[in-house]
Homo-oligomer: A and B are copies of this chain.
């Protein structure tokens, strides 16, 4: 199967799981269910759930049902985008090529839709019969830590907001991005490992892979914000500079940022050495993250 066919099949698997767990649009209260689905099905790359599923497969062939766990990462990611786009935070009108959730449904509904997706993620982990209770607890703990304040996604958003306008500084930059995007990307790999019953060595290898591609992902994101147009990205380009965000290009320049992304890609792939041929798709996903153009 080509990478393109593989990605299409994986995306379908994730979206079927999301569709199964997200309340139907005709279930009351309809407005919020429409808002949740509007943002959930806006054509994202589904990178986090795909990484989660592939991490599981790199450990074990018996991972049917993993999409039920993987899809909660997309719920968390989507809630964070909805809240991040609000006027009080990044104030963005465009996301994945469409008006942001609050532009369509209003701010109140966007705040509640984000809350609801965050709640739904933990509801799915509590209720899916794809896992036993011991793994359920480990998965929920990992997801909560990666989404929270101390070294997690929310903490990264706080640092990002408070960093606006400050002098670009490598230490601050790393602390922002390790938390803001890195924590949830690493959790995607770890949750796949937990699902599949990984050994401690496999879990560590996948964690390290997640850390390096997390960093690579963010470097490339920062670079694309400079080099590409809003139309190409499906979101407002050039915002980082306008908001004086602390980014990799701002700290190191564009050329060095490209080199750093490439270095993280190689480190990520090195981390997979012990997993052998089963990790081939993860290697391809690392290439995809670094060589993407949007």
Which residues of A come within 8 Å of B, CB atoms? 23, 27-29, 31-33, 36, 79, 83, 86, 88-89, 106-109, 111-112, 114-116, 118-120, 122-123, 125-127, 133-134, 136-137, 140-141, 144-145, 147-150, 152, 154-155, 157-159, 161-162
Decide if B115 touches A88 in the complex (CB within 8 Å): no
CB distance from A4 to the nearest CB of B (A): 35
Contact B154 A32 (CB under 8 A): yes
Q: Which chain B residues lie closer than 8 Å to A137 at the CB level?
A: 126-127, 133, 136-137
A106-B88, A136-B137 known; A144 vs B161 contact (CB < 8 Å): no
The prevalent SS among residues of A at the interface is helix
What residue of chain B has the Cβ atom nearest to residue A138's Cβ?
Answer: B126
Known: A115-B83, A140-B140, A150-B23. Contact between A155 and B125, CB under 8 A? no
Is A144 within 8 A of B119, CB to CB?
yes
Q: List 28 A-B contacts (CB under 8 A).
A: A23-B149, A28-B155, A29-B155, A29-B158, A29-B162, A31-B162, A32-B158, A33-B149, A83-B115, A88-B107, A88-B108, A89-B108, A111-B111, A115-B154, A116-B148, A116-B154, A118-B118, A119-B147, A119-B148, A119-B152, A120-B144, A120-B149, A123-B140, A126-B141, A127-B137, A133-B133, A133-B137, A136-B137
CB contact between A123 and one of B36, B89, B116, B145 (< 8 Å): that residue: B145
CA distance A32 to B33 in the complex (A): 29
Highest count of chain B CB atoms <10 Å: which of A29, A89, A127, A152: A29
Contact present for A126 and B140 (CB under 8 Å) = yes
Task: Decide: B112 and A157 in contact? CB cutoff 8 A.
Answer: yes
Nearest B residue to A86 via CB reads: B111
On whether A109 and B158 interact (CB within 8 A), knowing A125-B140, A137-B133, the answer reads yes
User: Which residue on B lies nearest to A83, using beta carbons?
Assistant: B111
Among the listed B122, B133, B159, which residue makes an inter-chain contact with A134, where contact means beta carbons less than 8 Å apart?
Answer: B133
The answer to whether A123 and B108 touch across the interface, beta carbons within 8 angstroms, is: no
Chain B contacts for A141, CB-based, 8 A: 123, 126-127
The answer to whether A144 and B123 touch across the interface, beta carbons within 8 angstroms, is: yes
Report yes or no: B118 in contact with A115, Cβ–Cβ below 8 A. Answer: yes
In the assembly, what is the distance between CA of A114 and CA of B27, in Å? 26
